[in-house]
Amino acid sequence: MGTLASTAATRDAYGEALLKLGDRNSKVVVIGGDLNESTRTLLFAKKFPNRFFDFGPAEQNMISVASGMASAGKIPFVSTFAVFGTGRAFDQLRVQVAQVKSNVKLICTHAGIITGDDGMSAHGIEDLALASSLVGVTVIAPSDAIETTHAINAAAELDGPVYIRLYRPETPIVHKQNCDFRIGVAELMRVGKDVTIIAIGSMVSRALEAASLLSKENIDCRVLNMHTLHPTDEQAIYDAAIETGAIVTAEEHYINGGLHSAVAQVVSRTHPVPIEPVALTTYAESGDPESLLTKYNVSSSDIHAAVKRVISRH
C-alpha cells in the first residue's frame, strides 16, 4: 500500500498513458466526441493527428466507427464522459461491441458525483451497472492515477471489449509505482480479521482512511480494491466472507447494479454473511465534491459507520 499524502487526476494519467501506447503500438487509434480537452485525449490528437478522429457530440456514431475500426485490426480507444459513453450509446455497445466481441476500449471520465458542479445530468452514477450488464465486457474502475496507467496498458493487451471508469478531479494516490494490477484479481490493500471493506474506484482511499480510524477502536479491517467489477474476483469475496464474517461495500455509484450487487450475488450463493452497502441511493445536485459525498452518505465517515453496523449484525 502506498501513501494518501498526494493526489493526481486519473484522466491525466490516461492522457499520458495513451501517448506512450501510441509510440509503442501503431494500431492504437483514438476516437473523441468534442470533449477531448476534458478527457485528455487532445494530447494524443496533437502528437498523432492521423490516428485521432473527432465525431463531435455523436456518441452512437463514435461506438459504431470504433467497432468498424476494430474489425479492421485497429485498437480503438473511445473517450467521452461516463453519462454519454454508457448511457447514450448503450444500444451500439450492446449490438456492435458486446455481441460481436469487438476489440473496443471505452474509457470514460467524469464518473460519479465528484464531477461536482457540472450537476446532476453530468454525474455518471449508473455507468458500472450499464457496462456490467453487457456480456463479455471487462469493466474496470481504477482507484488512482497509478493504477489507471496499469489498467490502460492491460486493456490495450486484452483482446476484447473493455470499459474503464475515470474521474474529473484529482483523487488520492494509494499505490506505489510498482502497483500489482491484474485484470479480474482484487488487490489486498490492508490485512484484517474482523470485517472486510470491499471498495472500488475513488472509494478505495476512503476505505483505507476509515480502516485506519477503526484500528484505533480495535476493529481490524481488511480492505480489498475490487478494481475489476467484471469479471468479479469471486474467490476474494468468498475468502473475505469465510475469514472475516462481515462485509462492507463502498462505491461512488448507484446501489443497484454496481459493486454491492456483484458482491451480494457471490456471498448469497457461496457463504452468506452480513453485508452493509455504502453507495448512492439517489441523484445529487451541483456542488462541491466533498460536500456532495458527505450529503449523499458516501464518505469515509459513512464507511466507518457501516463497519460498526455490520459488526453488530455479525
Residues known to be catalytic? 59
Give whole-number Cα distances, 144 to 124, 151, 164, 194, 207, in Å.
Answer: 18, 10, 12, 26, 13
Q: Which three cell numbers stand for residue 31?
A: 476516437
Tracing cell 476516437 back to the chain, one arrives at 31
Q: Which three cell numbers stand for residue 313?
A: 449484525
| Bridging pattern class, strands 105-109 and 75-81 | parallel
- C-beta of residue 293 within 8 angstroms of C-beta of residue 113: yes
Residue by residue, DSSP assigns 276-303 as: EEEEE-S---S--HHHHHHHTT-SHHHH
DSSP single-letter state for residue 114:
G
- Of 21, 147, 136, 101, the residue nearest 30 (C-alpha): 21
- C-beta of residue 167 within 8 angstroms of C-beta of residue 257: no
Helix (H) or strand (E) holding 18: helix 10-24
- Of 221, 233, 226, 308, the residue nearest 259 (C-alpha): 226
**Distance in angstroms (rounded) separating the CA atoms of residues 138 and 136:** 6
How many CB atoms within 10 Å of residue 59?
Answer: 25
| Bridging pattern class, strands 195-199 and 221-225 | parallel
